[in-house]
Copies of this chain bind each other. A is one copy, B any other.
Amino acid sequence: MTATTCTAVDPSTGEPGAAFAEATPQDVHRAVEAAAEAFHDPRLREPGRRVELLRGAAARLRAAGDEIVAVAGAETGLPEARLRSELERTAGQLEAFAALVERGDYVEAIIDTPDPAAIPIPRPDVRRMLVPIGPVAVFGASNFPLAFSVAGGDTASALAAGCPVVVKGHPSHPGTGAVVAREIEAAVADVGLPTGTFALLQASGIEVGEALVDESAIAAVGFTGSFAGGKALFDRAAARPNPIPVYAEMGSVNPIVLTDAALAARAQAIAEGLSASVSNFGGQLCTKPGVVFVPQGEAGDAFVADVADRLGAAEPQVLLNERLRDGLVAKIAELEDLAAPVRSSATAEGPGFRFRAAAYRAAAAELADRPELLDERFGPVVLFLAYGSREELLHALARVEGQLTASVHAQDSDAELVAALARVLSERAGRLVFDGFPTGVAVTEGMHHGGPFPATTAPAHTSVGMTAVRRFLRPIAFQNAPASVLPPELQDDNPFGIWRRVDGELTRDPL
A residues contacting B by CB (< 8 A) are 40, 84-86, 88-89, 92, 99, 103, 105, 108, 110-112, 118-124, 126-128, 131, 133-134, 234-235, 238, 242-245, 401-402, 412, 415, 418-419, 422-423, 426-427, 429-436, 440, 442, 444-448, 450, 452-454, 457-462, 465, 467, 470-471, 473-482, 484-485, 499, 501, 503-504, 506
Contact = CB atoms under 8 A, between A and B. Distances in A.
A475 B460 contact: yes
Contacts of A453: 242-244
A416 to B, nearest CB: 9
Nearest to A499: B506
A165 B277 CA distance: 40
Contacts of A423: 40
A460 B474 CA distance: 4
Given A418-B482, A426-B131, A477 B446 contact: yes
Contacts of A431: 476-479
B484 A419 contact: yes
A245 B458 CA distance: 8
A477 B447 contact: yes
B126 A442 contact: yes
B475 A442 contact: no
15 contacts: A85-B121, A89-B121, A108-B467, A110-B446, A121-B442, A126-B445, A131-B426, A242-B401, A426-B476, A431-B476, A432-B481, A434-B478, A434-B482, A448-B476, A460-B474
A84 B123 CA distance: 18
Contacts of A99: 504
Contacts of A40: 423, 427
Contacts of A475: 430, 448, 450, 460-462, 467
B442 A128 contact: no
A428 to B, nearest CB: 10
A445 to B, nearest CB: 5
Given A103-B504, A434-B478, A440 B123 contact: no
A415 B450 CA distance: 45
A430 to B, nearest CB: 6
A459 B501 CA distance: 21
A121 B243 CA distance: 38
A268 to B, nearest CB: 20
Contacts of A434: 478-482, 485
A245 B460 contact: yes
B127 A435 contact: no
A422 B484 CA distance: 10
A475 B451 CA distance: 8
A126 B447 contact: yes
A108 to B, nearest CB: 8
B242 A454 contact: yes
A471 to B, nearest CB: 8
